[in-house]
Amino acid sequence: MTDSRVPRRRRYLVCEPRHFAVQYAINPWMHPDVEVDVDLAQEQWQELIRTYRAHGHTVDSVQPVAGLPDMVFAANSAVVVDGRVLGSLFHAEERRPESVHYDMWFKQAGFAVHRPESVCEGEGDLVWTGRYLLAGHGFRTTREAHREAQEFFGRPVISLNLVDPYFYHLDTALFVLDDSGDGNNIVYYPEAFSPGSREVLERLFPDAVRATREDATSFGLNSVSDGRHVFIAPQAEALAGKLAERGYVPVAVDLSEFLKAGGGIKCCTQEIR
Ligand code: ARG
């Protein structure tokens, strides 16, 4: 069974945590009085990049900018499907300037960037499943941005209501295991969603893997899958076990220092499709 899971080579966009810090609190994980160990953060992040490359993935990076401590969370800066780039408009004033730098990177890399008019936090809330964009709202990205995304991509956008402030971005409560036609599947933590949104997920993905609150609080839902390998927090042991039973290969990467800002593996990784 294990050998039936086929990885696909990915292109990831990241940003080095040179200026990473917790200087303001815009989610319940952030406490500005808690010190960040920048050297440890750098080591953990470098290990993530080495791991991606060792698994055959391409990694591009945006230059970090002083004074933008959350810029390391590349996933929030755009969502790219079929070479179409929808940029971001951050909810928090502190993060708004990040967009300028990411948009510039995309332009230099040959992509046109469509700017949203309403608050929209990229892959933090807009998750491409291979068929639809699942789209979170409730804390950051607005329903108006979901409408904009559907119009821009011409793909069905399924709005999902997030209800737990600890799981303020969709990518903290759900990730895509397999975005191919046949195997298309996700993992999610049901309690992070309103009852109606939970039902929508059950209907769309009856075979999904359900995660526990422990998996979610250790940022196990903030994982990245290439279709075979799942890059996942080592603390999410129960979830890693379930994934292995389904024939996936969990690859543990510890980004514990980033948890202090409410981020994990997926937050640090944007996929360019
Ligand atoms: N401190 C950042 C924020 O609250 C963390 C972003 C995490 N990124 C993510 N894709 N969930 O905006």
Compute, in angstroms, the gap from residue 2 CA to the centroid of ligand 1.
33
Of 15, 120, 229, 267, catalytic: 267
Phi, psi for 89 (deg, rounded to 5): -130, 105
pLDDT at 221: 98
Q: How far is 258 from 144, CA to CA, in rounded Å?
A: 30
Residue type, 224: V
Q: Which two tokens stand for residue 262?
A: 């409410």
4-8, 60-64, 72-76, 200-204: least confident range: 4-8
* pLDDT at 2 exceeding the cut of 60: no
If 0-12 CB within 10 Å is exposed, 13-18 middle and 19+ buried, where does residue 54 land? exposed
Q: How far is the CA of 45 from the centre of ligand 1 (A)?
A: 15
Structure tokens belonging to residue 22: 């917790």
Q: Which pairs from 30-36 meet CB under 8 Å and 24+ separation?
A: 30/260, 30/261, 30/262, 31/260, 34/260, 36/257, 36/260, 36/261
Is pLDDT at 1 greater than 60 in this prediction? no
Task: Average the pLDDT over 43-54 and give the result.
Answer: 98
Give the number of the atom of ligand 1 that is nearest the alpha carbon of residue 26: 4
- 261 HSE (CA, 13 A, CB side): 26
Tokens representing 129 are 């499943």
Residue 25 pLDDT more than 90? yes
Q: Look-up: residue for tokens 């892959």?
A: 123
Interatomic CA distance for residues 240 and 256, integer angstroms: 17
Helix (H, G, I), strand (E, B) or coil at 250: strand
Give me the amino acid identity at 53. Answer: R
Q: Is position 169 annotated as part of the catalytic site?
A: yes
Cα 108 to averaged position of ligand 1 atoms, centre (Å): 25
Q: Give catalytic status of residue 15 as yes or no.
A: no
- Cα(12)–Cα(31) distance, rounded to whole angstroms? 29
pLDDT in tens, 140-177: 999 999 999 999 999 999 999 999 999 999 999 999 99
229 three-class SS: strand
Span from the CA of 95 to the centroid of ligand 1 (angstroms):
10
How would DSSP label each residue in 47-70?
HHHHHHHHTT-EEEEEPP-TT-TT
Q: Kindly indicate whether the domain formed by 11-271 is annotated with CATH number 3.75.10.10.
A: yes
Strand duo 174-178 + 157-161: pairing: unpaired
Cβ of 73 less than 6 Å from ligand 1? yes
Please work out whether the CB of residue 136 comes within 6 Å of at least one atom of ligand 1. Answer: no
pLDDT in tens, 174-195: 999 999 987 899 999 999 999 9
> Whole-number mean pLDDT of the chain?
97
pLDDT score for 108: 98
Predicted pLDDT of residue 3: 63
Pocket test for ligand 1, best of 169, 260, 268 (most atoms within 8 A of CB): 169
Taking the CA atoms of 273, 169, 162 and 206 in sequence, report the sign of the dihedral they define.
positive
Calculate mean pLDDT across residues 255-263: 98
